[in-house]
Structure 1
Amino acid sequence: MIVQDVINHLEELAPLAYAEDFDNVGLLVGDKNQKITGVLVTLDTLEAVVDEAIETNCNLIVSFHPIIFKGLKKLTGKNYVERVVMKAIKHDISIFSMHTALDNALQGVNDMICNQLELTNKRILIPQSETIKKLTTYVPKNEAEALRTALFKAGAGSIGNYSNCSFNVEGNGTYKGNQDSNPTKGIKGETHTEEETKITITYAKHIESQVLKALFKTHSYEEVAYEITTIENKNQNIGIGMIGEFAEPMDETNFLNHLKTKMNTTCIRHSSLLNKKIIKVAVLGGSGSFAIQAAKANGADVFVTADLKYHDFFTAESSIILADIGHYESEQFTKNLLVAYLTKKITNFAIILSKTNTNPVKYL
């Protein structure tokens, strides 16, 4: 097995196409064709983690946070980022990061938090826009079924709980090939009329290359007429944050104690309690102040996140409880999620959970 094989498995869980634009995800260090001896999974790639990879004979580190976030102009070892990259290269260790791709995955970071808190009826808090593409193409009528089948097989035409979805209109197409053409139907230099089916089909943007490959491989025309547009519909299965419910209402103080226990934290910064029962809980691992209004709009009683600033707490405005459990604490179980996932997918070598605590924040 090579590095790319592991990447392929990880992209099934969280396609990198859905990472935020500001992020730096993917293979950050190493060769995608390198044979793997072992995989070490961590939240952050620090020097101690690279040392751990060396000790455990793992030459691929799968990290949630990217060690290279901003551009590197020099590699002199003057800071921890440069030292990590230099040590990884020296020991032929590859580093792959998922970060916001996993944040936006349906079964990613925020789903893990919901599971820890024992929430049900989970759904995405802020569905991502511009993730759905629409393909329109024109094919000879007698070839329409074969093309639809090929596009479905490539993953197109799936909408929520439905598959093999398409819209079809029959009509007549015309064309005239020039002297350099080689038409599969009709004669060059003559206007040809063909009974055609117009096929319209949607697909998730991360599979565009395989959808187009199926189109060109199956379509018989020398020049395939097609259009691709990005549609406004939001994908309810891709996006940041999540909201869920408790099976039974919970007292506010009991909820905060439940939160401390389940998220393994000794400190919670929170806004004023509202003397009401807690049923709906919104969560967003990492820095989540931007989602406060979305949590309110979705009727959450509590919003669990991290990195809230002083003035963020004022925005609760007696309508929601804001609970800051710490950045590391909100994402700490992400590496367990990845280990469990990769262990099911890969059975011929070790998937190791890093023992290094990478939390830079200490509490007295």
Structure 2
Amino acid sequence: MGGLSSGGWRERVSPSDFPGREPGPINVQRYRQVPAYSGIATFLGLPLCLTPEDLRAGGVDVAVVGAPVDMGTGHRGAAFGPRAIRADEWAVAHTPSALLESDTRINPFDELVVVDYGDAAVDPMSVEASMEPIRGVVREIAGTGAVPVVLGGDHSILWPDAAALADVHGPGRVGVVHFDAHADCAESVAGHLASHATPIRRLIEDEHIPGRNFVQVGLRSVLMPDDELLAWMREHGMRSHFMAEIDRIGFPAVLDRAISEALDGPDHLYLSIDIDVLDPAFAPGTGTPEPPGLTPRELLPALRRICHETPVAGIEVVEVAPNLDPGNLTAMNARKAIFECLTGLALRKKGLPGPTYLDPIAAGLAGEDETTP
């Protein structure tokens, strides 16, 4: 009858399966310095937590969790995104204590307690059935006060991820900053309400996130939004910044607008990063590439700045399909995106000034009073 029982895919391992283990993060690496291609693939080789009790006992600030879903895109390979991002060799070695963000000269792991939280349960035959288990795991992370960083998976997971934040902080109190080539607010796809093209519609209709609290950056799809969908977006007050606007006034000006809009009302922000916001030259491993897009030099500092200057309470990076990118460039940029987000969170916790904090030496300002260009 097959190797998966009807409910085994969502049955949690119980703490009683590990008698005598005190709650807290578990270091699953055997050696102090582990190459990125070796050891047990937690994010950057970080310690592992399995329960909310582990998160609380460890005083965890950030918990990285996988949501390996790709049915919402039509099985293009995004389910393998979490493993690819964890195992990517961007940092050469899984040694967080040795990492330094070059623009700010900050090691985020000096300021933050960051762990891996494994993966959410996923029904390999149903994207719809996977939504509630993902929501539950993200909610239990956020409920401890830690920031969930969700590794997708396709963009259908924005629905349960952002809903989980609204469960914890309250409906209408969470905004979403959404980097994407696509609007992702269609009514349905081939009759399916849960897909990578529909999560924003679901969140607005379920009254988790008001339309005016969605701030979108990088839209440029050749298919959507059509005139009808664009009218719906405007009717619901969504703030959407297309690539045409970026081309017209420049990315820094659009980013200033997006940050101002993101702070217009919500107490907490959820940062949703679809890797296809990058130009396919920098992220070929994604199911729905759309040229021309942002460059890493534009996106990565923007993510750091948003996490520094706004009350970000959750982050996701989605649509990494490693099977479509034999050079691993997409996974590398996804992992660097997370690292820049962590740096921004560390800057905020450390109380360093914004906007756009830069280390004076790195910025060529040594000996000067200013710390911004």
TM-score calculated relative to the size of structure 1: 0.28
Structure that is richer in helix per residue: 2
Report the structure number with the largest CA radius of gyration: 1
Q: TM-score of the superposition, structure 2-length normalised?
A: 0.28
Higher strand share: 1
